[in-house]
Structure 1
């Protein structure tokens, strides 16, 4: 008998039996079920299992948080249930039957950006490091930067821009590739499409306003402006979906024996033309409008209100999956304004949730069973992964979740009020300070302190008012 055999049998029973499972897979910490009837799942009994840290439903999947031993639990579950597991992609595909139109759109958005996050994190760290050595005057009584004094670091500064430029300026290439991969289209066509949006022969979109003359493709009867969409998110998303859908439709109607030649030709050329004539300008206007509105909210006299609302509601947004839409807004802000004030607030929300769990660890410090769940959850939260803490501890008791939301809002007000901006997204929790612009790091550190202290203190206060006593 394996370690989780008994609990796996119980989970199978509480989930509604084998016949209620349409698909099952697992990720780093969670079992992901697509259920035929979610009402048959007994959530209270499932969450009472020793190995289960919590449950939640997201993107059409009933997810059971196990923790770091999820792969072992999954193997035991597959053995006792006789249910063959599927890949995460297959599970997501099956889950769409339980999703409405808005949920499907958000799921698509999340799946586009997930493969890009590692590169975006690296890019943010590189830009932050370049700013420290190239922009902050740390040497010779605060009169010179490191790059001005040392040739080696000047070379490093110049070299690292090669990577930073590749990640952010050419981001549309990653987006169109990711869409092609996700939708089952030809990935190299997605890459080529992305390259046509950022080609060096195109005028950089951000240089259009100051350009004396915009180059054009002259077809005689019509002219198309040769404008690039470097660092642009929405034009790339629109173009990527057009290409993938067009290719998939062509595959269905073009005979297989000429498909290899005809389909790429008829899919790529029209899409590139449509991208530069319609989708690019349209996407640019949409993206600029969204980022301008958000930026105005973050810099207006009511920025404190905007920040407090965003900081307060971000954690609930994570529960619904709506938080994925902030990725596109963040990247648009970075491209248009050179940084984003949203991501720092997200990192602070991560920290606040972890601090609420830390308070619960203190309140239950003599409860060994509780600590087995809460200590790993707090650590993961401080590193930017909030699900174990939110679903395993904070939502279970409710008041720590509320305390974290309040602390997050307070920290967000300080962050926005101090005009803190991040170079990149992806680095969350306590390491989030590495993505902050160097000149804002001190202000962000203060906001981090608030995100640590306020939720901790409020959680203890709320616990005392509720009469919660630590186990002895």
Structure 2
């Protein structure tokens, strides 16, 4: 089931049902229905439906405006209504695949964690304050107050696979409730290693004498179940959801529609979770354990190098959930040796991360989007919970994450060299300091080392961010003009694609453009029938009729040039594309020719909107060309 299936069902129902549809086409932004009786359509329901921008009626067409996802919704409407679409009308404005695997990986991770940031921040702050109040002796850990606050703050981290199951499913286009079930199954008490090890003796042991040593307590149809503790983990649920999305997609293709509702989720859960428990979960956990073993081996060679590796890679490990390979070493060392000095170099990352976020907030005082996420992330980080800062601030911006990792490696090396130790479990951030006092000698020397490292973390993290990171909103707030095109960080200068008179989008007699439903920009009343590329980039959309063309610039601006109003009805007459979808183009390169006079004679307006359809990805879209500012032929400036 596509994520647009429900939307398609609502649309079909509220245009009067399948029997009321004569034909369906789509252009760059909207579904264009020809209906037998437009009075049967329910305008208000459609206008208030999530995923529908608005509804319009023009030229004998009932138009449902969708936006950038129109081609996906179009495909789903055809399936739901059992229509037979014309192949040459197909358009996919979003099929451009980035071949940079690392960028794609970052996009997947960010896409999974971004939706849960608000809840993650709230839980982190509550958990941190609960630790603070216990440290201040306002109440003890044995009280009901502590238990309730700890449940509120710790629940999200304890049952993180359930939360991530829902978020990952949405990212992988799997039914999100399937993701919830997958996460819940991983957290189910009866399959956790701790519960099984207390319930009885193992049946046998696998891989004895290797890093993959595993005691087997149960079997599944004769196959050994390698039990793990999956609560608070990250990687297993994401990998299983990815597999489930492929399984679900495959069965949707082969199972008849009449029984698909029941059998697709049945087979998806059985296959993905069986493989998850038997193979994916154990392999992901072993990966974490191998990282921990590797760090132990390095520490035996050089404590400073081991400290630098632990601290420098800690945030990367957290992102992938692989830090759990080190945490068992921490617990084991304190229990068996009375202290831990292997994992403790990571301690500096809390303060480095927080100082980097604070520096970013200072440099980006006007960036409302950053402040919305950054302020609670900084509070949470100061209290020892850095996940909101890592996922919500550092990872999306990339360079601050690198700064944080480098500074953490430096301070982590310092901690490793001076053998920072922790003697008692518990506490986070500043409240871990009491646990660094040697209970046997009562010496404060070890805590002084920790305090020096905290000072280094804050100073170096803050200074490095202030020096090496620049806010992407380099716009002069005083008069709203561009401060300096050459100095804009990731700014996008967009040239005139047509010769003619520049007018505001509000002059376009089409609400989709005039009200900015699909993006900010302006319009041109052309003087000649030639369209040139406004940027260096790639042709990502070229409608078969030639009346609309989309370009994605090298800096990520998605630019739509729509020649005339309702010119899609000309079905390509008077338009001559000179490029094709996927072509790389340069600024000023001729893209399209059209017969201006013939289009006017046919009764169509030639006013041409030029909009940035992903305007929400930018801090602002400036229009110096419209304002008459002296910026040569610059039409728009998109500022990230």
Residue 249 (1) aligns with residue 255 (2):
no
1:433 corresponds to 2:433: no
Matched, 1:330 2:323: yes
Q: Which position in structure 2 is the counterpart of 1:449?
A: 455
Judging changes above 3 Å, is the alpha-carbon distance between structure 1 residues 105 and 421 closer, same or farther for their aligned structure 2 residues? Answer: farther
Contact 2:113 2:164 in 1 (8 A): yes
Partner deviation per Cα, 1:360-389 (whole Å, 9 max, x = no partner): x9xxxxxxxx99889x99996993546999
Number of equivalences:
332
Summarize the alignment of residues 10-409 of structure 1 with structure 2, pairs less than 5 Å apart: 94=94, 97-131=97-131, 146-147=139-140, 154-164=143-153, 166-205=155-194, 208=197, 212-213=201-202, 215-217=217-219, 219=221, 221-222=222-223, 224=225, 229-294=230-295, 300=300, 302-308=302-308, 323=316, 326-330=319-323, 333-334=326-327, 337=330, 344-350=347-353, 353=356, 383=378, 384=389, 385=393, 408-409=408-409
Distance 1:348 1:216, change over 3 A: same
- How far did residue 346 of structure 1 move? 3.9
Say if 1:224 and 1:277, in contact at 8 Å, map to a contact too. Answer: yes
Q: Distance in 1 between matches of 2:239 and 2:168?
A: 10
Unpaired runs of 5+ residues, structure 2, are 1-27, 30-65, 73-92, 203-215, 332-339, 379-388, 437-446, 469-640
Whether the aligned pair in 1 keeps the contact of 2:307 and 2:413 (CA below 8 Å) is yes
Q: Point out the structure with max Rg over C-alpha.
A: 2
Q: Deviations over 1:425-469 (max 9, x none)?
A: xxxxxxx9379676369866543322344577899999xxxxxxx
Distance 1:269 1:287, change over 3 A: same
Contact 1:234–1:287 (CA<8 Å) still a contact in 2? no
Mark the CA change 1:414 to 1:132 in structure 2 (over 3 Å): closer, same or farther: farther
Partner of residue 420, structure 2: 418
Contact 1:254 1:263 in 2 (8 A): yes
Deviation track 1:105-125 (CA, whole Å, cap 9, x = no partner) reads: 332233223334444444544
Larger fraction in helix: 1
Q: Distance in 2 between matches of 1:146 and 1:172?
A: 31
Deviations 1:261-289 (A, max 9, x none): 11111111122221222222222212222
Runs (5+) with no aligned partner, structure 1: 1-21, 24-83, 140-144, 315-321, 362-369, 395-400, 425-431, 463-472
Query: What is the distance in 2 between the residues matched to 1:186 and 1:459?
Result: 40
Q: Give deviations 1:348-370, integer Å, cap 9, x for gaps.
A: 44456579889xx9xxxxxxxx9
CA distance in 1 between partners of 2:253 and 2:276 (Å): 23
The 1:342–1:105 alpha-carbon spacing in structure 2 relative to 1, beyond 3 Å, is farther
Contact kept? 2:317, 2:323, Cα under 8 Å: no
Shift of 1:187: 1.0
Two-structure CA RMSD over aligned residues (Å)? 5.3
Given the superposition, is the C-alpha separation of residues 162 and 277 from structure 1 closer, same or farther in structure 2, using an over 3 Å criterion? same
- 1:470 is aligned to none
Question: Could you say which residue in structure 1 is the equivalent of 2:549?
Answer: none
| Distance in 2 separating the partners of 1:445 and 1:127 | 23
More strand as a share of residues: 2
Shift of 1:180: 0.9
Counterpart CA distance in 1 for 2:280 and 2:395 is 36
1:205/1:229 contact within 8 Å kept: no
**CA distance, structure 2, for counterparts of residue 388 and residue 280 of structure 1:** 27
Tell me if structure 2 keeps the 8 A contact 1:357–1:389.
no
1:231 match: secondary structure: coil
In structure 2, relative to structure 1, the CA distance for the partners of 1:199 and 1:165 (3 Å cut) is: farther
Preserved CA contact (<8 Å) 2:123 2:152: yes
Q: What is the match of residue 42 of structure 1? A: none
CA shift at 1:255, angstroms? Answer: 2.3
Q: Is the 8 A contact 1:304 1:413 kept in 2?
A: yes
Does the 8 Å CA contact 2:168/2:179 hold for their aligned counterparts? yes
Could you tell me how far apart the structure 2 residues matched to 1:355 and 1:165 are? 25
Q: CA deviation at 1:156?
A: 1.6
Q: CA deviation at 1:201?
A: 2.1
Distance 1:254 1:418, change over 3 A: same
Distance 1:388 1:285 in 2: 28
1:240 deviates by: 1.6
